[in-house]
Amino acid sequence: MNVSQYFTLAGYDLNHPPPLVGLLSVGAIALTCVVAYRLYFHPLARVPGPVLAALTDYYVTYYDLVKDGDMVKQLERLHHRYGPMVRFGPNKIHFSDPKAFDLIYKDPRFPKDPWFYDAFGAPQSLFGCTDISIAKERASLLRPLFSRKKISQLEEVIQEVVDRFIVALSKQSTTQDSVNFYRGFASITMEIITTYCFAETYGIVDYPDFAHPKLVGFQGSNFAVFAMQHFPLLRFLFPKIPLWILKPLIPGMFGRRQFIQALDSQIAGILEDPASLDRAGHEIVYHHLLHTKGGEKPTRAGLLSNAISLTAAGTETVANACAVATFHVLSNKSIKEKLSKELLGAWPDPGISKSLEKLEKLPYLTAVIKESLRLSHGVVTPTPRVVTEPTIISGVFLPPGTIISSGQTFTHYNPELFPSPRQFQPDRWLGEGSSELDNHLVAFSKGQRMCIGVNLAWAELYLILGNMFRKVEMELTGTKESDLEFRALLTPRFRCLLRAKITSVRGVAASS
Ligand code: HEM
């Protein structure tokens, strides 16, 4: 019996198929064609990787959302199985080889992938901009505020927040059995960013238990961004959902909105009366963003977009590096002793501030910071770039439209560059030839789209960690190395809190 006889017997008139059957048949044929194309005829068909990933981008959705930020771990498993180049989506290739990292991120022909970056809802900011020439223009406006020279001039702004952080730790040591350092570090880094960039101090560092609503709201939002990436319809629905529905679903939503409103009302005030900038107390981002020579005109939405993304980019990243440093220094006696000895020698009286310039000259503190940046990675989700013209990487032809990436964790965990890569070993940055390793510390990425806040971040790390390890004696309370396992939601989100008990604080006036 042939197929048409079968359908006739089953009661179907093939000359007049019911609409549903027709639709289903067309769907099935289209699906078969897509499957066959992606598996056998796609230009990337020969790149190794799981069949399911070659068929659908929902492979990544599953690991990002259902497995709760597990895609980086899954990429590790895939590279272990398939080698240094893996196809992990129909048109997505990930490379584990550190040489590919340089090729991808230093080459201006590979712009940021809009599918990934648009979900952050900040296309008018530098971070969210996917056009290379517009990004260059935006970066040139912001760069002067983040130069090494400007940071030295504004060092006091950072030091003042650090001093308040030490006082807050001292106060918490008398009221709490242990301090939540995960939120503590995010409090100080958020306060530094808002003070440095906008001359706005919200008292985040001084808030009880480091649980300021503006911070809590800001920290909880990356999962929602990833949901919007995978289901773009949510980008339109999300802003329309009333607050009373979102509030129980997204803890801290209210604080986040409050924070954004505070930034927005400052911007509205400055746009209405630009002369008010003279009263800011020090140079801030709006001195630069408002005074464009040609190019894009500043808008309220554009300024807000930059303000939000600067805060987001500068809060979690620096805080994570501080958390990694604190965990490893406190859990390793010999590292703690070496660091304490160096700080004590260079800084006999903790009651007098130590300048950034002097802290930068301390080799062991520098090595601790480098190792903390290496193991906190900066960004852990591989940041995607688009191939815009036919290209060959690692011997494989990549057609335009291919999405390429190489996660920072893959360079930082490379055992040939960093033997025993998962171990915290500051000494690896001190031996002969170790300066060559600097090239493989990619926490700030590389190329034109690398971190614009790199100098500010280094200054914060020296001042926060230098002051804290010189002035505060503490011990971990129950935090284990496995607690630093992370969910990859752009930045690493540690699965557990870092808690420590403070036993004494030096160099803080009793009345503070
Ligand atoms: C330890 C601290 C930090 C690390 C490890 C870090 C890391 C990174 C990385 C890896 C990128 C590239 C992301 C991508 O390719 O999409 C980036 C971009 C960026 N970072 Fe940072 N960052 C840090 C601190 C800061 C601070 C303090 C600021 C605030 C000024 C900042 C502002 C930015 C901005 C605006 C971008 C976007 C640049 C562009 O797209 O051209 N970051 N950062």
State the pLDDT confidence band at 510, using cuts at 50, 70 and 90: very low
* Domain at 98-505: CATH architecture: Orthogonal Bundle (1.10)
Give the model confidence (pLDDT) of 382-411 as tens digits: 999 999 999 999 888 999 999 999 999 999
Q: Is the CB of 407 under 6 A from ligand 1?
A: no
Q: Is the CB of 139 under 6 A from ligand 1?
A: yes
Q: What is the mean pLDDT of residues 145-173?
A: 96
Residue 287 CB-density burial (10 A; 0-12 exposed, 13-18 middle, 19+ buried): middle
pLDDT at 490: 92
Give the model confidence (pLDDT) of 41-80 as tens digits: 999 999 999 999 999 999 999 999 999 999 999 999 999 9
| Residue in 124, 150, 189, 317 to alter for ligand 1 test, most ligand atoms within 8 A of Cβ | 317
Read off the tokens for 333: 């006696």
Give the model confidence (pLDDT) of 327-368 as tens digits: 999 999 999 999 999 999 999 999 999 999 999 999 999 999
Give the model confidence (pLDDT) of 282-313 as tens digits: 999 999 999 777 767 899 999 999 999 999 99
Q: Is the CB of 463 under 6 A from ligand 1?
A: no
Backbone angles phi, psi at 393, to 5 degrees: -125, 135
Cα–Cα distance for residue pair 394/404, rounded to 1 Å: 12
With H, G, I as helix, E, B as strand and everything else as coil, classify residue 112. strand
| Residue in 126, 372, 451, 465 to alter for ligand 1 test, most ligand atoms within 8 A of Cβ | 451
Model confidence at 5: pLDDT above 70: no
**Residue 197: which H helix or E strand, with range?**
helix 181-198
Q: What is the mean pLDDT of residues 415-431?
A: 96
Q: What is the mean pLDDT of residues 17-21?
A: 72
Nearest C-alpha to atom 30 of ligand 1 is from which residue? 453
Cα–Cα distance for residue pair 255/258, rounded to 1 Å: 5
Cα–Cα distance for residue pair 285/481, rounded to 1 Å: 38
Dihedral sign (CA 67, 105, 377, 190): negative
Model confidence at 442: pLDDT above 70: yes
Model confidence at 163: pLDDT above 90: yes
Domain-by-domain residue ranges, the chain?
98-505
Q: Is the CB of 445 under 6 A from ligand 1?
A: yes
- The DSSP secondary-structure symbol of 120 reads G
Which amino acid, 174?
Answer: T
Q: Is the CB of 465 under 6 A from ligand 1?
A: no
With H, G, I as helix, E, B as strand and everything else as coil, classify residue 190. helix
Q: Is the CB of 378 under 6 A from ligand 1?
A: yes
Closest Cα partner for 494 from 375, 410, 383, 329?
Answer: 375
Angle between the N-to-C axes of helices 181-198 and 300-331, in degrees from 0 to 180, rounded to the nearest 10: 140
Q: Identify the weakest region by mean pLDDT among 22-26, 286-290, 454-458.
A: 22-26
pLDDT at 216: 86
Q: How far is the CA of 305 from the centre of ligand 1 (A)?
A: 15
Pairing mode, if any, of strands 491-494 and 486-489?
Answer: antiparallel
pLDDT at 3: 53
Pairing mode, if any, of strands 499-505 and 491-494?
Answer: unpaired
Model confidence at 465: pLDDT above 90: yes
Give the model confidence (pLDDT) of 103-145 as tens digits: 999 999 999 999 999 999 889 999 999 999 999 999 999 999 9
Q: What is the mean pLDDT of residues 10-16?
A: 62
Closest Cα partner for 412 from 376, 388, 384, 446?
Answer: 376
Model confidence at 157: pLDDT above 50: yes
Q: Which residues are annotated as a binding site for heme?
A: 451
Q: How far is the CA of 407 from the centre of ligand 1 (A)?
A: 15
Read off the tokens for 483: 């607690």
Q: How far is the CA of 312 from the centre of ligand 1 (A)?
A: 9
Alpha-carbon distance values, 481 to 332, 408, 492 (Å): 11, 20, 15
Contact residues for 3 (Cβ-Cβ < 8 A; gap 6+): none
Cα–Cα distance for residue pair 24/4, rounded to 1 Å: 17
Cα–Cα distance for residue pair 270/277, rounded to 1 Å: 7
Q: Give strand pairing partners of 396.
A: 393
Q: How far is the CA of 452 from the centre of ligand 1 (A)?
A: 6
Cα-atom radius of gyration of the chain, to the nearest Å? 26
Q: How far is the CA of 310 from the centre of ligand 1 (A)?
A: 8
Tell me if 328 sits within 8 A of 234, measured CB to CB: no
Q: Which residues are annotated as a binding site?
A: 451
Q: Tell me the H-state helices in 300-350.
A: 300-331, 333-346
Q: Is the CB of 321 under 6 A from ligand 1?
A: yes
Q: How far is the CA of 380 from the centre of ligand 1 (A)?
A: 12
Q: How far is the CA of 314 from the centre of ligand 1 (A)?
A: 7
Read off the tokens for 409: 């964790």
Q: How many CA atoms lie within 13 A of 179 on its CB side?
A: 32
pLDDT at 131: 96
Give the model confidence (pLDDT) of 205-258 as tens digits: 999 999 998 898 877 667 888 888 999 888 888 778 777 777 776 667 778 888
Tell me if 54 sits within 8 A of 38, measured CB to CB: yes
Q: How far is the CA of 309 from the centre of ligand 1 (A)?
A: 9
Cα–Cα distance for residue pair 76/99, rounded to 1 Å: 17
pLDDT at 219: 75
Backbone angles phi, psi at 344, to 5 degrees: -65, -40
Cα–Cα distance for residue pair 42/155, rounded to 1 Å: 54
pLDDT at 224: 81
Q: Is the CB of 452 under 6 A from ligand 1?
A: yes
Q: How far is the CA of 451 from the centre of ligand 1 (A)?
A: 4
pLDDT at 512: 42
Q: Is the CB of 104 under 6 A from ligand 1?
A: no
Nearest C-alpha to atom 40 of ligand 1 is from which residue? 127
Q: What is the mean pLDDT of residues 471-490?
A: 89
**What is the maximum alpha-carbon separation in the chain?**
96
Read off the tokens for 452: 């614009």
Model confidence at 320: pLDDT above 50: yes
Tell me if 365 sits within 8 A of 462, measured CB to CB: yes
Nearest C-alpha to atom 24 of ligand 1 is from which residue? 314
Read off the tokens for 113: 């992938």
Give the model confidence (pLDDT) of 85-104 as tens digits: 999 999 999 999 999 999 99
pLDDT at 220: 65
Cα–Cα distance for residue pair 473/228, rounded to 1 Å: 43
With H, G, I as helix, E, B as strand and everything else as coil, classify residue 162. helix
Give the model confidence (pLDDT) of 172-203 as tens digits: 988 888 999 999 999 999 999 999 999 999 99
State the pLDDT confidence band at 511, using cuts at 50, 70 and 90: very low
Q: Is the CB of 127 under 6 A from ligand 1?
A: yes
Alpha-carbon distance values, 38 to 43, 55, 61, 91, 402 (Å): 9, 6, 18, 9, 13
With a pLDDT cut of 90, the percent of the chain lying above it is 75
Cα–Cα distance for residue pair 171/352, rounded to 1 Å: 20
Model confidence at 9: pLDDT above 60: no
Closest Cα partner for 331 from 341, 323, 321?
Answer: 323
Q: Is the CB of 314 under 6 A from ligand 1?
A: yes
